[in-house]
Amino acid sequence: MSGSFAEIHLGALRENLLQVRSQTGTAPILAVVKANAYGHGAVRVAQFLEQCQPKVDFFGVAFLEEGIALRTAGIQNPILVLTGCPMDEISDLIQYDLTPVIFDVDTLAAINTQAAKRGKIIKIHLKIDTGMSRLGILPDDFFTFLEKAASYEMITIEGLLSHFAEADLRDLAFTQTQLNTMNTILGQLAQKGIRLPYYHLANSAAILHFKPSTLSLIRPGLMLYGYSPLKEKTDIPLRPVMQIRARVLALKNVSKGTSISYGRTFITKGDSRIATVAIGYADGYPLSLSNTGIMIAKGKRVPVIGRVCMDMCMLDVTTVRDLSVGDWVTVFGEDGPESIWADQLAQWANTHPYELLCGIGTRVQRRYIQP
């Protein structure tokens, strides 16, 4: 029997997709489902989105294994592997019809050789480093790289992309500089009579408040799952897709002065009722929420007390007299009149919702709620 579970509300996912469409017109959509769809379950999320209206045109994953998992589950849409393609993975990439993002010249020859053996043309997207300084071809080297890529008979260049470093900030000066670099290259391509099917740069933050970066393909990630990456509040309504519940394993009444959990970091200030619940840092509930986090029990907010353990944590439920062993508390989500969401939890944990959602462990069972 599960100690905790996550409800994945697919209707909320569809609502968020509609918000993406409302912000971007008719631009094709690449739904980012890497990192297990930000913890929501990549296979089920992709299966749902592939059948959705508005249409999702691509899926984006980080690594080969993520792409194979989607193909094995029957996903038909093009799948872009965003971190490239190591030499020893080229054969599998071709077998599973995955589209690599390329930024290494040696990889081009290896892909062409493997593709020739299979008699199959391989589509690729080229990545330019416009300022993230992580992956990508430097702008000064781009046209030399492009000429090399275009020389291979078994390779088709389908797209060109880059990645914003700080599109989530209010100050968009550097973001504009990155877009300018991209647009300069696009202008040079046009002068040479080169037109690729897809140019893409816009992530969730850019979709929300930097419309000039839409180009011809968009890459929503976090906003699909119900959260804005922006520091400031957005008026665009997004609905969190995931809610998490944890089971009450034990209840006990303790007296004033009782120490709670490892390190005895919490001492009760009066007679108290303590609930031990089945979620801990091995499940993705951060250790940094020790003596800081809040959950909801029977519609009432209750504090996390003592150090969060690997598999459990403790709550002060003195004010919730009708709570019983076996009941469920809300880790984040809605419960009666109260709600706590992952962005609030992330604030308390001094992190951001990306890390919190992606960190939800496999022991937390996913239950999918159809719209």
Q: What is the pLDDT of residues 120-149, one digit of tens each?
A: 999 999 999 999 999 999 999 999 999 999
β pairing state of 365-369 and 217-218: unpaired
Q: What is the pLDDT of residue 106?
A: 94
Q: What is the pLDDT of residue 1?
A: 53
> Structural domain tally of the chain?
2
At 284, phi and psi to the nearest 5?
100, 5
Burial label for 144, CB within 10 Å (0-12, 13-18, 19+), is exposed
**How much of the chain exceeds pLDDT 70, in percent?**
100
Q: Which of 224, 252, 280 is the last residue of a domain?
A: 224
Give the integer Cα–Cα distance in Å for 270 and 9.
40
Residue 219's contacts (CB-CB under 8 Å, 6 or more residues apart) are 30, 32, 60, 200, 202, 203
Q: What is the pLDDT of residue 282?
A: 97
Angle at 154 between CA 152 and CA 155, to 5 degrees: 70
Beta bridge partners of 124: 157
Residues 161 and 265 both lie in one domain:
no
Positions marked catalytic = 34, 262
Residues 216 and 119 both lie in one domain:
yes
Residues 219 and 250 both lie in one domain:
no
Q: What is the pLDDT of residue 327?
A: 98
Give the integer Cα–Cα distance in Å for 192 and 186.
10
| 334 located within any domain | yes
| 1 located within any domain | no
Rounded to two decimals, the pTM is 0.96
Residue with token string 């907010």: 301
Tokens of 200: 């893409």
Q: What is the pLDDT of residue 232?
A: 84
Q: What is the pLDDT of residues 215-265, one digit of tens each?
A: 999 999 999 999 999 988 888 999 999 999 999 999 999 999 999 999 999
Angle at 314 between CA 308 and CA 316, to 5 degrees: 135
Task: Supply the DSSP string of 127-168, one letter for each residue.
Answer: EB-SS--SSSB-GGGHHHHHHHHHT-TTEEEEEEE---SSTT
Residues 220 and 289 both lie in one domain:
no
Residues 308 and 249 both lie in one domain:
yes
Residues 337 and 198 both lie in one domain:
no
| 234 located within any domain | no
Give the integer Cα–Cα distance in Å for 310 and 262.
11
Give the integer Cα–Cα distance in Å for 198 and 101.
13
Residue with token string 């930024």: 103
| 332 three-state secondary structure | strand
Task: Supply the DSSP string of 51-67, one letter for each residue.
Answer: T-SSPP-EEEESSHHHH
Q: 209-222: b or e for each residue (b if 16 or more CB lie within 10 Å)?
A: bbeebbbebbbbbb
Average confidence (pLDDT) over 357-371: 97
Q: What is the pLDDT of residue 65?
A: 98
Residues 149 and 281 both lie in one domain:
no
What range does the domain containing 300 cover?
242-369
| 171 located within any domain | yes
Q: What is the pLDDT of residues 38-82, one digit of tens each?
A: 999 999 999 999 999 999 999 999 999 999 999 999 999 999 999
Q: Quote the mean pLDDT of the chain.
A: 97
Task: Supply the DSSP string of 225-270, one letter for each residue.
Answer: GT----SS--SS-----EEEEEEEEEEEEE-TT-EESGGG-EE-SS
Residues 64 and 187 both lie in one domain:
yes
Residues 76 and 105 both lie in one domain:
yes
Residues 210 and 251 both lie in one domain:
no
Beta bridge partners of 127: 161
Question: Residue 330 is inside which H or E element, if any?
Answer: strand 328-335
354: CATH: 2.40.37.10
Q: Which of 179, 194, 224 is the last residue of a domain?
A: 224
**How much of the chain exceeds pLDDT 90, in percent?**
98
Residues 272 and 351 both lie in one domain:
yes
Q: What is the pLDDT of residues 151-201, one digit of tens each?
A: 999 999 999 999 999 999 999 999 999 999 999 999 999 999 999 999 999
Residue 215's contacts (CB-CB under 8 Å, 6 or more residues apart) are 27, 182, 186, 199, 200, 201, 202
| 330 located within any domain | yes
Residue pair 1/276 in contact (Cβ under 8 Å)? The answer is: no
| 230 located within any domain | no
